[in-house]
Chain A
Amino acid sequence: MTKLGVFDLEVRYGKVPALGGVTLHLQEGERLFVSGPNGAGKSSLLKAIAGAVSSSHGRVELDGDIITGKSAEAIARYGLSMVPEGRDIFSTLTVEENLRVGTGIRADKQAIEGDIAEIYDAFPILGERRHANAGALSGGQQQMLAIGRGLMTNPKLMMVDEPSLGLAPNIVDQVYDTLVALQKERGLTLLIVEQSSARAARVGGRMVLLRGGQVVGDGDASEFAERDLLKEAYFGQADQSKSTEQVQ
C-alpha cells in the first residue's frame, strides 16, 4: 500500500528553484534513502512534504489524503514526523521536555509514558540526563534526542534529514541500528537523507538520487554503492558523498 506519494513537487525560494518537479512513492513499511550532492534539494523535499516550506506546484499524498498546502502542525496530526538537518533540539528545554513537546497531539496518556520509557530504553544516556538542559548534550546525544522526539508524535512515516551529519562513525552505527530496530517494532515507514551510498547499502533499502532538484536515479542502495565504489577505484576520492563522510 502506498504510504507517501509525491507528485511533480516544486519548491522555489524567491525565483530560485530548489526542487523542480519531483515524483516519488513510498510503500508502507519501506525504507527509502534520498541522496545527492549539496544543493540537490534533499532538505527542500523533506521540508515541503512536512509543510515547513510551501511548494509552488505539485502535490503530496499521505495514505491517499492530499496534505499539500496544509500547515506543518496539521501535517504532524496525519502521522508524519520530521527530524530536521542540524537536529533543531530545543536547547533551553530539558531532555524530557523536548520529548514532550510533540505529545500535545495525542490523547493516549499511558502510551505516551510508555513511549518515553521505550526511548530511554533505546538511548539510556537520554534517560540518565532527562532533567539536564538539552543544549548540554553532545552531538550524538542530540541526534538521539531528535529521533526520540520525532517518535513522540506517534508517526507512521518518519523523515530523518542526514542523521549521520557531524557524528563519529560508531555513533552513526548506533543511530542506524536504533532506527532499523524501531522501524521493525513499530511498522514505521522511513525516509532518510544520507549522503553516503555505502552507508545506505549497509543499512539496506531503496535509494533515490537527487541532482539539481530532480530525481536522476532510483534503485537498491547497494547498486549505488557499487557504482560509487567503481568510480572511486577509477577516479580516486572524487566522489562527493565519500569525501563528506571522511571530513566528518
Chain B
Amino acid sequence: MLSYILRRIVATLPVMAIVALFVFSLLYIAPGDPAVVIAGDQASPEDVERIRQSLGLDRPFLVQFGSWVWRILHGDLGTSIFTNLPVSAMIAQRLGPTLSLMIVTLLLTVVVAVPLGVVAAWKAGSLIDRVIMGFAVFGFSLPVFVVGYMLAYIFALELEWLPVQGYTPLSSGFWPWLENLILPAIALGCVYIALVARITRAAMLEVLQQDYIRTAKAKGLGQGGILFIHALKNAAVPIVTVIGIGIALLIGGAVVTESVFAIPGLGRLTIDAILRRDYPVIQGIVLLFSFVYVLVNLMIDVVYTLVDPRIRY
C-alpha cells in the first residue's frame, strides 16, 4: 500500500507539470493586461508600457515561463502583481476560510445526505422516498446564490440568529467560527447533499436486492443493522467516489458562496485575480487546486481499500 501511495504521489508530478504549462499558456494568450489595470483609466500608453516592463511582462513567453518554473522548483509561487505580497502568503491568508467552509459543508453533507439516501432506499416507492427525492431535485435545481440570499434573509435579517457575512477564525472561538459558516455551508451543501443522497439511494437499492441481505433478514437481524452495517458498507464505494468528485464541485461553488457571504477565501481570491489579470496568483491557485484534486483522488483510492477488502493495490 505504501509503495502504491508513493507511486501515485510521484505520478502527480507530470500531471502538475502539464497543468502548469496549460495554465501559463492560457493566461499568456488570454486578452487583458494587468499593467492597464494598475496604471488606471487616465494613464498614458507610455506609462502602461513602463509598468509592463517593470513587471517583466514584455519578455518572450519562454523566458517568462522558464523563470516561473524555476521559481516553482525552488518553492516560490512568485509575487502578486497588484499587492506585491508573496502568492504563498496570500494563499495562506485565504486557506483557512475556504478550508473551514469545505470541511463544514462536507460534514453537513455526509451527516444529512447519507442517512437520507439510506432511508429513501429502505422506503423506496413510498411517500418518504418521494419527499426525499423531491428535496434532492429541489437542491439540484436551485442556484447557490438563490439559496444563499434566502437563508440570509430568513436566518440573518428576519430571525437574527446568524450573521449575514464575514468569517471569524477558529482561534477566536468555536461558536464565532461556526456561526459564520452555517449559512454558507447550507447554501453550498444543497447541491452536494442532493447528489450524495441520490447516489446513496441508488447504490443501496442495488445492495438491498442482494441475497445476503435477504439472508440477514431471514436470520432476524434488525433493520438498522441490515441497513447501516451490512448494506451501507457494501454500497460505500460509489458513495465515497461521488463525495470525492464533489470536492471539485465544492471548489467551484465556493467562488459563488464566498462572494455572497463575503468570506475572504480562495474562491474570491481566484475571481479577483482573474478579473485583474494577476497572473502569479491565478497560476498559484490553479496549481494548488489541481494538487488538492489529485490528492483527493488518491485518498479516495485509499478509502476504497478500507470499505471494500476485495480491493488491493
Partners in one complex: no
